[in-house]
C-alpha cells in the first residue's frame, strides 16, 4: 500500500470560501492525492501531532494566523517540524507553513516591509532552481497565486533561495535535501484567488488598491501547481530509495 502524506492543517479558508472545502482538501486535490493517500491533522484545532512513521512526507497548510504570535499549537508544530526536518522527512510548507518551517529551523519571520502581496504574481527563479527537484526545467519567470502579510525575512542557516517576487525576496527555499517552503499557494485555482481578493476587498481599499482590478488580473498558474505535484513524486521516490 502507498504510504499516505500527512497534511498539517494550520487554519481554514475565509468564511466565504469554505463552501469549496478546507485548505487540506484544496491541497490534496491539487497534489493529485486520493482520499486514502492523505491524513489530515488539524493542529490549530488541537489535534495531537502523530508519529512520523509510515508517512511519505508532510505538507503544512496556510493560515490566517501569524507565526509571530507564537500560539501554543504553532510552536508545538514548529518543534515537530524541526525534528522531522533533521530526521530527513520530506516537508513542504505553504504560506504560513513556509514561514513556520523557516521559523522552526532558526529563520526569522515578520511583517513584509512592502505590505500585503495579493493576486497572481510573477516569480523569478534563482539559478539554483535549475537543479532543484521541484523547480528544474520551469521557465525563469512563472505566475503564482499569493496572499500574505508576513514573510520569511531571514532564511535558516543552510537554506537556498529558489524564487523571489517583486515584494518578497524569499518566495521559495529549500533546506537540506527534502525540505521546501513556498510563500505562494500552488493549490489555489483562479476561483480560490478571486474569492480571496473579494474577501479582502475592504482591506485592499484601505491600502489604496482596487480589488476589482486585482481580480481581473488573476490568471492560471499551472507551473506553480506542478511544483506541488513534483513534491509528492519526489517524496515518494525518496521513501522508496
**How many CB atoms are closer than 10 A to CB 48?**
7
Average model confidence (pLDDT) for the chain? 96
Q: 19-37 pLDDT, tens per residue?
A: 999 999 999 999 999 999 9
**Nearest alpha-carbon partner for 5 in 43, 56, 60, 62:** 56
Task: Considering the candidates 9, 44, 95, 103, report the single residue annotated as catalytic.
Answer: 95
Name residues whose C-beta falls within 8 Å of residue 32's C-beta, 6 or more positions apart in sequence: 229, 232
Q: 161-213 pLDDT, tens per residue?
A: 999 999 999 999 999 999 999 999 999 999 999 999 999 999 999 999 999 99
146: confidence class by pLDDT, cuts 50, 70, 90: very high
95 is catalytic: yes
187 is catalytic: yes
- Confidence at residue 241, expressed as pLDDT on a 0 to 100 scale: 43
Q: 34-70 pLDDT, tens per residue?
A: 999 999 999 999 999 999 999 999 999 999 999 999 9
79: confidence class by pLDDT, cuts 50, 70, 90: very high
Q: 121-135 pLDDT, tens per residue?
A: 999 999 999 999 999
CATH of domain 5-240: 3.40.50.880
Any idea of the CA torsion for 131, 135, 139, 144, to the nearest 10 degrees? Answer: -150
185 is catalytic: yes
238: confidence class by pLDDT, cuts 50, 70, 90: confident
- Confidence at residue 162, expressed as pLDDT on a 0 to 100 scale: 98
Q: Is the pLDDT of residue 138 over 60?
A: yes
Task: Considering the candidates 103, 126, 171, 185, report the single residue annotated as catalytic.
Answer: 185
Task: Considering the candidates 171, 187, 192, 234, report the single residue annotated as catalytic.
Answer: 187
Instruction: Supply the DSSP symbol for 138.
Output: S
Which helix (H) or strand (E) segment is 219 a member of? none
90: confidence class by pLDDT, cuts 50, 70, 90: very high
Amino acid at each position: 500500500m502507498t504510504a499516505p502524506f500527512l497534511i498539517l492543517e494550520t487554519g481554514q479558508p475565509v468564511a466565504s470560501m469554505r463552501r469549496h472545502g478546507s485548505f487540506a482538501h484544496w491541497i490534496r486535490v491539487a497534489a493529485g492525492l486520493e482520499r486514502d493517500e492523505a491524513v489530515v491533522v488539524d493542529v490549530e484545532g488541537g489535534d495531537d501531532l502523530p508519529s512520523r512513521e509510515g508517512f511519505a512526507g508532510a505538507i503544512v497548510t496556510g493560515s490566517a494566523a501569524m507565526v509571530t504570535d507564537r500560539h501554543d499549537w504553532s510552536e508545538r508544530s514548529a518543534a515537530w517540524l524541526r525534528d522531522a526536518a533533521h530526521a530527513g522527512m520530506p516537508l513542504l510548507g505553504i504560506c504560513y507553513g513556509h514561514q513556520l518551517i523557516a521559523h522552526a529551523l532558526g529563520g526569522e519571520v515578520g511583517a513584509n516591509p512592502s505590505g500585503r502581496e495579493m493576486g497572481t504574481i510573477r516569480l523569478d527563479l534563482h539559478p539554483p532552481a535549475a537543479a532543484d527537484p521541484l523547480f528544474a526545467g520551469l521557465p525563469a519567470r512563472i505566475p503564482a497565486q499569493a496572499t500574505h502579510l508576513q514573510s520569511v525575512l531571514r532564511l535558516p542557516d543552510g537554506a537556498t533561495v529558489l524564487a523571489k517576487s517583486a515584494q518578497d525576496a524569499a518566495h521559495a527555499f529549500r533546506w537540506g535535501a527534502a525540505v521546501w517552503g513556498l510563500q505562494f499557494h500552488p493549490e489555489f485555482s483562479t476561483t480560490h484567488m478571486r474569492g480571496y481578493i473579494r474577501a479582502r476587498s475592504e482591506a485592499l481599499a484601505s491600502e489604496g488598491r482596487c480589488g476589482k482590478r486585482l481580480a481581473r488580473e488573476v490568471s492560471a498558474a499551472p507551473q506553480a501547481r506542478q511544483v506541488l505535484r513534483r513534491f509528492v513524486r519526489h517524496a515518494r521516490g525518496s521513501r522508496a530509495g
